[in-house]
Chain A
Amino acid sequence: MTRTKRLALLLCIVMLTSIMSSLTVMAEEKPDTWIADRVVQIQAYVDDIGYALPEDQLNTPVMQELARRTGMKIEFLYTEGEKDRYVMATQLATGNLPDMIVSYLNNSTRPEFPILLKAARDGMFADLAPFIIESKVYSKYMDKEYLPADTYDNIVWRKDFDGQVHFLHMNIDAVDTSTIWNPAEEYIGGMYIQRAIAEDLGIDVKTINTSEQLFKLLQDIKAKEYKDVSGNPVTPLGPKFWGGSADALQYVINDLFWGVSGDYNITEDGKVLHEAETDWVYKKVDWLRKALAEGLMHKEFFTIDETRAGELYANKSIAIIADVHSYKEIIYGSDDWIPLGPIANYKGDTRKITSGKGGRGQWAIPASTENPEEVFKLMDYLSSEEGQLLCLYGVEGVSYDMVDGKPKLKPEVQEAMDRGDSKTLCDKYGASFDGSGVYGLEFILTDRQNEAYFGEARPGASSGSTFERSVKLAEEYTREYHLVPGLPAKAFLTDLEDVNNAMNLLNYNETLVQAAFAESDAKVKEIIESFREQLKHAGIEKFEKLVEEKYAENPNLINFY
């Protein structure tokens, strides 16, 4: 062997050794959680996600840590529109979709669902069933007992999908605690009254349990001629805190809601009816017309925009907020407002009705996404204990420290949360912090069990002062839960496509408001009768028959009571 050959051989050996050793180092550097070197773009049809994004999404401490563990990063995309579901319908129609989509989806009766279902039936989404079987967290979705009935039957494991899965419901609690009153987790929603007015009138707010009692209270408030901070008269009943909507009526005149299952209910002789087909609709309209005529209700109760509603409450121009909850600053920020009621249901029961576990959103992978299994693995990892800790608390040493095996937020993070500094939480730390920071990172989780994993209901709950009053209110105004299993009758509308399309164009709440503002009782009758006609024309009888059959087969399927 010549000298040159020997030198070349030596060089080759050196090179081979260095390549092998660097490969070994690389292999060693990759943790078990490694998935792929990839940025996953998620199109969010959720306004709260779009409004809480870091300026540099890919370089927050959380994203850097996620990349170190899995090789992957997440980038949320958000397109503003009049309504998120309009944007979703448009983007699905154009086929312009990134690696994954997320949208609101509390249950299968939400307006997003028919659009998602059509897209799934058209083959727009990848089949996730094979990935579920192999996953760590999402494999729980194969257990019928784990998922809410609606999630299992109508969203994830739909019979018409022939064993395929096209979207996954998120934010499912690991353990069903829906009937347990836990002050640390409860949102006290519904009516709130100005404490000063309640005290002046000497009323016990918990004893106002019927719409009749409420009406009398509104009259008493009116008679006292209270003034707001600018010296203008106080209106007894104001709109929903987030702006005018008929939704708030469920708290105000709950005892006049007969259609408890998505506007439907069943009569004693087993006939399924829409509430508009019964006299209950007139009872509701009468109450509203009287309240409006006597000036007890704000005239823009159903239509006011959020900004102006906020002004009304900031000025104390309203005695009773029709709907707000204990985690809004106006409630937890001071002692000025206290819960009122609750108004009992039409059976006189004040217990809070629950159908058991629920969900909040859904995610799907477009069929055009390359290597969908990587995206799935990432979603599965994020919902593991390790992934949830990263998403909710951020990076250890940066935004929290481990104390006795549980995460404890750093004081500066807690302070940022207390002062509502979302920008700092997003840009500097990049985690969700119970929705105060990057909301998207909380929205995409499932198998939630904060108490079990982290020892507290939400990040900072055990040490922060921000929501102290929210928890106190939940301790003071406790309620009992009443479990009524089943889905709202409306969930079965998708079984009859033609009826569903026609019914989607009808709006019962709008009819109620129209009747409430009608110029005469004769006009009220005309409006209601016209709506009944429209229901018939849309094929309601066919639908009601279907629901009757389903209910007779299995009464636990539909939440009539």
Chain B
Amino acid sequence: MSSIVKNQKRSTAALLGRRIWLHGALYIMFIPCVVYFILFNYIPMAGIVLAFKDFSFRKGIWGSPWVGFDYFKMFFNSYDAQRLIRNTLIIGFMKCVLEFPFAIILALMINELRNARFKKISQTVSYLPHFMSSVIIITMLQRMLAPNTGAINQLIGALGGDSSTFYLMEKKYFLPILFLLDLWKNMGWDSIIFLAAMSGVDPALYEASQIDGCGKLKRMWHITLPGIRSTIGVLFILGVGGLLSSGFDQIYLLRTPGNMEIADTLDVYVVRTGISGGQFGYATAIGLIQGVVGLILVMLSNKISKRITEVGIW
């Protein structure tokens, strides 16, 4: 029996060796990715242990004394916990769920363009904001939305309206501003994967539907969307994992005393307590809660998705 297992192992290794030999170039290109993930994603994971330790500058992560679940108790007993979780969930839902269809719609629209040059320009213009720093975007936004002197208010004033609205200081404008800003920044970039998936749909299906008299809208609905269903499913499942993380930079920069009631999220709180307050263990514990909840959400949505649509990531 053991000799059979040994032989199987040997043949698997030989097969892998042959594959590596055959596709050497691809494997070499793969090495930096593996190194990147090990260095920047897996090794830092060991830092999670800080969530259970009273961090000492001198003793470092491993030498600091254990405190068990103290930080978790501290957080859930804190005055802010409920508000922070609620705000984070609202913003997370907005970013992960509400924004999700827009990238698909954009991809469908770009996919239907027939002028190749215009198609390329549209695609480039739509994904360029993704590469712009949030600091620059929000500085521009602050100027545009400034009361009386900002471009938006001046336009409203010129049209006879009240030009003194301070959009960034009013709570009611915070979520719409954040939604539009995030959508503008990420919609084009997110649509790239859907466009790639669309290019994989069999052209014969489109030809057949044309013969059957299908219009553009019907082709999108009956051929394109079902054709990219698995991609949509996988990206949605992965996106759900981010429900409890609202992102830091945009919110931190858009935060003002006026909108803080809804703009204070877990991500901002982690920085406030961790880096500015020096409570590294406490901040790590909150970060860990976000990570664990995210993982549970991904697993749940994967299970539900597999049961309903047969699409899953594993």
Chain B residues closer than 8 Å to A115, beta-carbon distance: 278
Inter-subunit contact A95/B60 (CB<8 Å): yes
The answer on a CB contact under 8 Å between B169 and A89 is: no
Residue B114 at the chain A interface, CB threshold 8 Å:
no
* Shortest Cβ distance from A302 into B: residue: B257
Interface residues of B in 71-96 (CB under 8 A from A): 78-80
CB of A514 within 8 Å of the partner chain = yes
Contact of A537 (CB < 8 Å), options: B55, B60, B79: B79
The answer for the CA separation of A302 and B169 in the assembled complex, in Å, is 10
| B contact residues around A161 at 8 Å (CB) | none
| Cα distance, A119 to B147, chains bound together (Å) | 44
Task: Flag if A114 contacts B277 (CB, 8 Å).
Answer: yes
Interface residues in A, total, Cβ within 8 A = 40
Partner of B57, one of A119, A308, A517: A119
Least CB separation from A120: chain B residue:
B57
Contact A299 B142 (CB under 8 A): no
Q: For residues 505 through 561 of chain A, which have their beta carbon under 8 Å from a beta carbon of chain B?
A: 505, 509-514, 517, 533-534, 537-538
A92 within 8 A of B: yes
Chain A residues near B261: list those with CB within 8 A: 514
Please pick, from A118, A122, A513, the residue contacting B59 in the complex, using a CB distance under 8 A: A122
Bound CA–CA A512/B261 (angstroms): 13
Bound form: Cα–Cα A111–B139 in Å: 26
B257 contacts A305, C-beta separation under 8 Å: no
Q: A305-B142, A505-B80, A510-B257 are in contact. Are A517 and B170 (CB under 8 A)?
A: yes
Contact A514 B60 (CB under 8 A): no
Identity of the chain B residue whose Cβ is nearest the Cβ of A312 in the assembled complex = B149
* Residues from 107 to 142 in A contacting B, C-beta threshold 8 Å: 111, 114-115, 118-119, 122-124
Find out whether the CB atom of A517 lies under 8 angstroms from the CB atom of B278. no
Please tell me if the beta carbons of B258 and A513 are within 8 angstroms of each other in the complex: yes
B57 engages A114 (CB within 8 Å): no
Determine which of B143, B168, B256, B277 lies in contact with A501 in the assembled complex, contact meaning CB atoms within 8 Å.
B277
B272 contacts A514, C-beta separation under 8 Å: no
Q: Is the CB of A86 within 8 A of B275?
A: yes
- In contact, B276 and A111 (Cβ under 8 angstroms): yes
Choose from B56, B148, B278 the contact partner of A89 (Cβ within 8 Å). Answer: B278
Q: Smallest distance from the beta carbon of A524 to chain B beta carbons, Å?
A: 13
Interface residue B305 (Cβ < 8 Å from any Cβ of A): no
Is A299's CB under 8 angstroms from B273's CB? no
Q: Say whether A295 contacts B164, CB under 8 Å.
A: yes
**Minimum CB distance partner of B80 in chain A:** A505
Q: Quick check: A93 and B57 within 8 Å, CB to CB? A: yes
Q: Are A517 and B257 in contact (CB under 8 A)?
A: yes
**Complex interface residues of chain B between 259 and 296 (CB less than 8 A to chain A):** 260-261, 272-273, 275-280, 282
Contact yes or no, B280 A93, CB < 8 A = yes
The distance in angstroms between the C-alpha atoms of A114 and B257, with both chains bound, is 24
Residues of chain A within 8 A of B58, CB atoms compared: 95, 122-124, 367
Interface residue B102 (Cβ < 8 Å from any Cβ of A): no
Give 1 or 0 for each of A485-510: 1 = CB within 8 Å of chain B CB.
00000000000000001101100011
B166 within 8 Å of A (CB atoms): yes
For B272, what are the chain A residues with a Cβ–Cβ distance below 8 Å?
505
Report if A83 contacts B (CB, 8 A). Answer: yes
Residue of A nearest to B169 (CB): A517
B51, CB-defined interface residue at 8 Å: no
State whether A300 touches B278 (Cβ < 8 A): no
B79/A510 in contact, CB under 8 A: no
Residue of A95, A115, A299, A367 most packed against chain B (CB within 10 A): A299
Instruction: Known contacts A295-B164, A299-B164; decide if A93 and B55 are in contact (CB<8 Å).
Output: yes
Complex CA gap A505/B83 in Å reads 14
B260 to chain A, nearest CB (A): 6
> Could you tell me the distance between the alpha carbons of A85 and B164 in the complex, rounded to whole angstroms?
36
Most chain A Cβ neighbours within 10 Å, of B57, B58, B282? B57
Asked whether any CB of chain A lies closer than 8 Å to the CB of B243, the reply is no
Cβ-based interface call for A213 (8 A): no
Contact B277 A514 (CB under 8 A): no
Cα distance, A114 to B149, chains bound together (Å): 41
A124-B57 in contact (CB<8A): yes
* A299-B166, A300-B166, A514-B260 given; A505·B277 CB < 8 A: yes
Which residues of A lie under 8 Å from residue B277 when comparing CB positions?
114, 501, 504-505
Tell me whether B147 and A300 are in contact (CB under 8 A): yes
Q: How far is the CA of A529 from the CA of B32 in the complex (A)?
A: 55
Q: Which residues of B contact A502 (CB under 8 A)?
A: 78
Q: Flag whether A424 is at the interface (Cβ < 8 A).
A: no
For A83, list chain B residues within 8 Å (CB). 276
Q: In this assembly, does A33 line the interface, its C-beta being within 8 Å of a C-beta of chain B?
A: no
Closest CB of chain B to A50's CB: distance in Å?
A: 19
CB neighbours (8 Å) of B164 from chain A are: 295, 299
How far is B78's CA from A85's CA once the two chains are assembled, in angstroms?
A: 25
Residue B228, interface by CB 8 Å: no
**Interface bits A391-405 vs B (CB < 8 Å: 1, else 0):** 000000000000000
Q: Are the CB atoms of B166 and A122 closer together than 8 Å?
A: no
Please tell me if the beta carbons of A514 and B276 are within 8 angstroms of each other in the complex: no
Interface status of B103 (Cβ within 8 A of chain A) = no
Is there a chain A Cβ closer than 8 Å to B104's Cβ?
A: no
- Please name the residue on chain A nearest to B256 by beta carbon: A303
Q: Return chain B residues, CB-CB under 8 Å to A512.
A: 257
Contacts A92-B57, A534-B79 known; A299 to B147 CB distance under 8 Å?
Answer: yes
Which residues in B have their C-beta under 8 angstroms from that of A504?
277
Do B275 and A90 touch across chains, with their CB atoms under 8 A apart?
yes
> Which of A122, A124, A511 has the largest number of chain B CB atoms within 10 A?
A122
Cβ of B237 < 8 Å from any Cβ of A?
no
| A299-B169 contact, Cβ under 8 Å, with A85-B276, A513-B257, A533-B79 | yes
Top 7 nearest A-B pairs by Cβ distance? A513-B257, A122-B58, A299-B147, A122-B57, A537-B79, A517-B258, A115-B278
A-binding residues in B (CB < 8 A): 55-60, 78-80, 139, 142-143, 146-149, 164, 166, 168-170, 256-258, 260-261, 272-273, 275-280, 282
Q: Can you spell out 30 A-B residue pairs with CB atoms less than 8 angstroms apart?
A: A83-B276, A86-B276, A89-B276, A90-B275, A93-B55, A93-B57, A95-B57, A95-B58, A95-B60, A111-B276, A114-B277, A122-B56, A122-B59, A299-B147, A299-B148, A299-B164, A300-B146, A302-B256, A302-B257, A303-B169, A303-B256, A367-B58, A501-B277, A501-B279, A501-B282, A504-B277, A509-B257, A511-B257, A513-B257, A514-B260
